[in-house]
Each structure stands twice: as structure tokens, then as C-alpha cells.
Amino acid sequence: MFSWSLEDVFNEHLFKEKVKNIPETFSSLEQYLSSYTYPLLEETRADLCSSLEVSSQAPFIRIHSLQKVTSLEMTYFIELGNGENSVGKESYTPMVADIFVLSELRPRRVSDLTRDGRPYTLALVVKGGGSEGPTAKMFVIKTSQEVPVSSREDEPRKSLFAIYLSSVNSYNRIWKSLDFYTVRNKNASIIKMIWEYNPLDADECSSSSGAAFSELNVTLGLDRFKLNDSQLNAVLDCLSESDQHGKKSIKLIWGPPGTGKTKTISSLLWAFLTKKCRTLSCAPTNTAVKEIASRLLRLVKESSSSKNCSLGDIVLFGNESRMKINDDLSEIFLDDRVTRLSKCFSRSTGWSYCLISMMNFLESAISHYEMYLEEVDKQEKEKKENEKKAKGKKEKEKKEKESIVRLTLKEFILKRFSTLAQDLSFCMRTLSIDLPRSSTSEKNFSDMNLLLEGIDITGTLLRSTDITDKMLDEVFKMSIEEEDCNIYELHHIKEGTATKTKLRRTRSICIQILRTLNSNLHLPNTFVRQSIQNFCLRGAIIIFCTSSSSFRLHDVKMEKPLECLVVDEAAQLKECECLIPLQLSRIQHAIFIGDEYQLPAMVKSQ
């Protein structure tokens, strides 16, 4: 792109002799991949041309400062100014992989970009844009030509603007996915099934028997979704193929609008989730991805048999500002999940700290209270000494107003417990919902939920009017070893017994669970967002994203490889863009859903 002049960009015939019709059959992988090379370059040119034609209406922002990166050619640090724009024009916030025009004026027409006789300057954002703070306005850019930089700080600086054109993220990802040597070393076998495909060999028959379908249907309980025969057979056929390990397959689910494709896909994904079959679900647009994710989320919440399905096993990721995530989807949206988990993984306030703090308090509440009383006695003594030294009536009156509160044992325990319980409950509830099920044992998940119940019961008992300081003193002085309580008695502890006995047994059970979790729960010791993101992606069973965004998964080392790829709205996706998710290591089965008579993929080139 940087090598194209403005005339090249507006030349519709730049690649005319090199763009050929893409054939229906291919003789080799290399021919298949190379057939998309020049069409992709032409589409990139057409997209840039279209953006330049409307650059006078494009969002822009003033660049406050520009400095050369001395170690790299045509690379610069920029700092943005305030988002001041003309009335009605959107303020521009750059993102990595954005292409913008670097100009000393805001163009009213395309010719303004070369008005001074110099070639226009394109810039690619390669780094920067922190979420908040000073770094949010600092970026590293690479330009199509050298940009003059003032050597004197006192020299007046000319105005400089960044005028947004487009993002080249998708083009870059597709380009890398068309590299023959890269593809050859990746998931080439399933891609081979595509380029070797012959329309005359199409087979509509399933390899599985009706008996196998019936068994699958009963086992998974798909009748609850009220699928018609066609929808049910499509789901069962895909599930049957996924059970044939070692065999790769490509399936097409076709249906015109109104035939229930979305219902079919969400039911299929629910079945994959139930079977713990790791699946990537893609679509061309954020809107389509969100629709399927919302439907699956609703099925999981509504289905009574989804007890073994954890929301932590479902992840949706992508650009937050473009996806416009609502409250429901925030439960599975990766960035929101990482924000919640980062609080739990913090060393100073996280789950481990909360477990140990609550355990120490329940074991030694009386000692804590005694230390508290000593501190209060010390403060009262200092107060009296200060009052003696106080000079003047006003100062003495002021000192007398600063009274020191002495809490009773019950008030102290309830206050301290409530503070600890709030932080601990947040961590346990977050971990039980947001952790992938594969990240720890089922017993740990069960213990976290039991602990939440125990904390709730303990708080209720401590607030009871039946509980006195004397009872608390006796209960909290009792050693945990003196009790013989099964933690699973917690469900029945509210029944029948006296309040003091309930509190004693609940405290004992909570301490047992706290000790067990402290010993057995092992989670990442990090609060770095990137590390937590990868942790969530490695363990998820169902991952939602656009086909282009799936490029990110190539850099995530999975604990267990993804097995299935489900592509919705496949007719609206460029075939070469499908290569991005198809190249993920060890994808065994690909399922494409769509309608060939709907709108095709958006192509700007004529």
C-alpha cells in the first residue's frame, strides 16, 4: 500500500491484467492459495480508494507532537491532541492496524492531499493506545515516506492531522493465511479437502445410521429444543461426525431465511458444550457473532440439564467498542471477564488472600478481639494524656468530642466478618462462574459454592438477636478439631437445632472448606491482562469471534486443541478469509451454515 501513488490507488485497472477468475477446481494447494493473491490486492486498493474519496468527511484528530524513532526507518512516536472536530464530525481514536493520512491540513477534496506537490503520506498504527492514562494518546506509526521533524523545541510547529481511512487488520490476516509455506505446515489436511473438492462428488448422505442418531438424541435430550426433523437431522449429523475421531469432515447446513438456521446452530453449540467438544464459532460480522452467542447463553440459562455447563466454558472476544456488549453478554465477554478475574488473581486482595484472612479470623476471632481491646486501651490512654497537655478551653473541648468507640465482642465479630465476607464472596462467586471448568477440579467448584452458602448462613446467625457475647466467646474459643462435622451437612444445618449449635457447626464447616480450598486450589499467579486472557481462551469449550479475529488464537497455546469450527453466515464470508480459522492446529471438523441466495461477501472492487 505504501508503494502506491495516489494515481495508483485511483487506477481501477492497476491489477487488471493480473486478476483472474478464481476457478472452481484446483491442481495444487499452491495454485489454490495464489488464486486469491491479486484479487486481495485489488480489493485492498479499492477499499483505500473508496476511503480517500470520502476523506473530507472522515473522522480526524490533531497530532500534538511527532518524534522520530532513531533506530527504525520512517517510524515515529506521536502524541494526540484533544479530540476537537468540526461540528457533526466524529472524533478519531486510532487503533493498531489503522491506516490514516498524515496531513498539515484537513482536506476538502482528494486533490488537497497533494496540493503542495509532495506525495501524500500514509501512516500505519503499529503500537500504542493504552486503555487509560497518559499512554492512551501515545502511538508508534510507520509512514510511507519520511516526515519532517523539527530539530528545535522553540521552533513553531505546523499543524498536523491524522485523517482516518480504514483498518488493514483483516487484509493483513488474510495475506498471512495465503502464504503457501505457512499453510503447508499448519492444518493443511482439512484445507486440502476444500481445494480438492469437486462439485460432481457432492454427497448429501450421512455416514451415520438412524439408530446412532436416535441414541445421540436421547443421550443429549435435544427434544427440549423442539427442532423440526430437518433441523434435528442436521444437528445429529454434525454431532455424529464429531464423534469419529481421527476422521476430518466438512459439512454444509443450508437453508433460506426463516428455516431456523440460528436455532439449529445454537442447539448444535449447546450439544458441543455438553459433550465438552472444543469448538470455535465464527461469523463475518460482530452482529452475527453476538446473535449466536446470545442464543447459546439463553439456552444454557434456560435448560435445567445445563448444570454441568459453566459460563466460564463460553468465551466471546473481539473489539469492545465495535461489539457494543450488553449486560447479558458481559458475562461471557473476554475483556469483562478478565477485569473480574484480575481482581481475584491480585496478590494483595485476591482469592488466596481472602481465603487466608477469613480462615485466620474464624479460627482466632477472640485473639483478634483481644488485640483490638488492647489497641482501644492504648488509644484511650493516649487521649487522656493529650487532654492533660491540652492548653486552652476550646482545644480541650475539641479533644473531648473525639470519643473512642469500644465495640462489644458481637459488634466486633460481625463488623470484621462482614468486611471479609464481602471480598471473599466476590472472589468465590466470580471464580465459580468465570473459571473454565478444566482449570480446577469439580470438587473445588463444589467447595466454592458450599463456602458461599456457609458464609451466608454464618452472617445470618451472627446478626441473630439470640446470639450473645458469651455464646460467641464459647463458640469461637472452640478448636476446629473438637468438632466432627461433615461439610455436606451444611445444606441441613438450618433445620431444628439451637442458634448457638448452628453457629458452632457452620463455623467448623467453613474453616474445613477454607483449609481445603487453600491447599487444593491452584490458579495462575498473575494479574497481567494478556496472561489472564490466554488462560480463559486455553480452557474454554466454546469460543465466539469473527473469522478475522480468530487469527489471535494462532498465538494461544491450547491445553486441549480445538476440534470443531462452526461458521455462520458463511455465504457472506470471503473464502480466503475462512482460511484464518481453518488453519488453527488440529481442527478436525468444519461446519458451514448459510444461504447461497442471500447477500454475498462485501466486495468493493468492480
In the DSSP assignment, the letter for residue 132 is S
CATH number, domain with residue 279 = 3.40.50.300
Say how many C-beta atoms besides its own lie within 10 A of residue 213's C-beta: 18
Q: pLDDT at position 343, please?
A: 95
Q: Looking at the structure, tell me whether residues 230 and 286 fall in a common domain.
A: yes
Diameter over CA atoms, the chain: 105
What does the pLDDT look like over 202-217, one tens digit per residue? 555 555 556 567 777 7
User: Of the residues 475, 492, 520, which one is the last residue of a structural domain?
Assistant: 520
> Under a CB-based contact definition with an 8 Å cutoff, are residues 6 and 114 in contact?
yes
* Average pLDDT value for residue range 475-484: 76
Region of 351 (left: φ > 0; alpha: ψ -120 to 50; beta: rest) is: alpha
Query: What domain range is 16 assigned to?
Result: 6-167
State the total domains in the chain: 3
What does the pLDDT look like over 62-80, one tens digit per residue? 998 899 998 899 999 999 8
CATH number, domain with residue 28 = 2.40.10.170
Q: Does 66 reside within a domain? A: yes
Residue 395 pLDDT greater than 70, yes or no: no
> Under a CB-based contact definition with an 8 Å cutoff, are residues 275 and 239 in contact?
yes
Region of 392 (left: φ > 0; alpha: ψ -120 to 50; beta: rest) is: left
Give the H/E segment covering residue 545: strand 542-546
Q: Does 551 reside within a domain? A: yes
Say how many C-beta atoms besides its own lie within 10 A of residue 159's C-beta: 11
Q: Does 43 reside within a domain? A: yes
Q: Looking at the structure, tell me whether residues 101 and 221 fall in a common domain.
A: no
Q: Looking at the structure, tell me whether residues 586 and 477 fall in a common domain.
A: no
Q: Does 391 reside within a domain? A: no
Helices (H), 24-127: 29-34, 37-53
Looking only at the bridges linking them, the beta strands covering 279-283 and 542-546 are parallel
What does the pLDDT look like over 524-579, one tens digit per residue? 888 899 999 999 999 999 999 999 999 999 999 988 999 999 999 999 999 999 99
Q: Does 394 reside within a domain? A: no
Task: Identify the band that residue 483 occupies on the pLDDT scale cut at 50, 70 and 90.
Answer: low
543, β-bridge pairs: 280, 315
Q: Looking at the structure, tell me whether residues 475 and 588 fall in a common domain.
A: no
Residue 200 pLDDT greater than 70, yes or no: no
Q: Looking at the structure, tell me whether residues 541 and 494 fall in a common domain.
A: no
Q: Looking at the structure, tell me whether residues 221 and 368 fall in a common domain.
A: no
What does the pLDDT look like over 115-174, one tens digit per residue? 766 678 999 999 987 665 557 789 999 999 998 886 655 555 678 889 999 999 999 999
The residue behind cell 442418531 is 213
| Backbone dihedral angles phi then psi of residue 427, each to the nearest 5 degrees | -65, -45
Q: Does 88 reside within a domain? A: yes
Region of 260 (left: φ > 0; alpha: ψ -120 to 50; beta: rest) is: left
Q: Looking at the structure, tell me whether residues 132 and 238 fall in a common domain.
A: no
Q: Does 180 reside within a domain? A: no
Distance CA 351, CA 353 (A): 6
In this structure, of 253-267, 301-315, 521-535, 537-551, the range with the lowest mean pLDDT score is 301-315
Task: Identify the band that residue 87 occupies on the pLDDT scale cut at 50, 70 and 90.
Answer: very low
Q: Looking at the structure, tell me whether residues 28 and 132 fall in a common domain.
A: yes
Q: Looking at the structure, tell me whether residues 283 and 143 fall in a common domain.
A: no
Q: Looking at the structure, tell me whether residues 47 and 159 fall in a common domain.
A: yes
- Listing from the earlier edge strand, what are the strands of the sheet with 279-283? 249-254, 589-594, 564-567, 279-283, 542-546, 314-316
* Average pLDDT value for residue range 38-51: 95
Local structure of 557: helix, strand or coil: coil
Distance CA 160, CA 62 (A): 6
Identify the top-confidence range among 37-46, 129-138, 216-225, 243-252: 37-46
Q: Does 395 reside within a domain? A: no
Q: Looking at the structure, tell me whether residues 324 and 366 fall in a common domain.
A: no
Which grid cell sits at 112?
488537497
Local structure of 543: helix, strand or coil: strand
What does the pLDDT look like over 317-344, one tens digit per residue? 998 888 888 888 999 999 999 999 999 9
Computed over every residue of the chain, the mean pLDDT equals: 88
* Average pLDDT value for residue range 218-241: 89
| Backbone dihedral angles phi then psi of residue 546, each to the nearest 5 degrees | -75, 160
Q: Looking at the structure, tell me whether residues 105 and 67 fall in a common domain.
A: yes
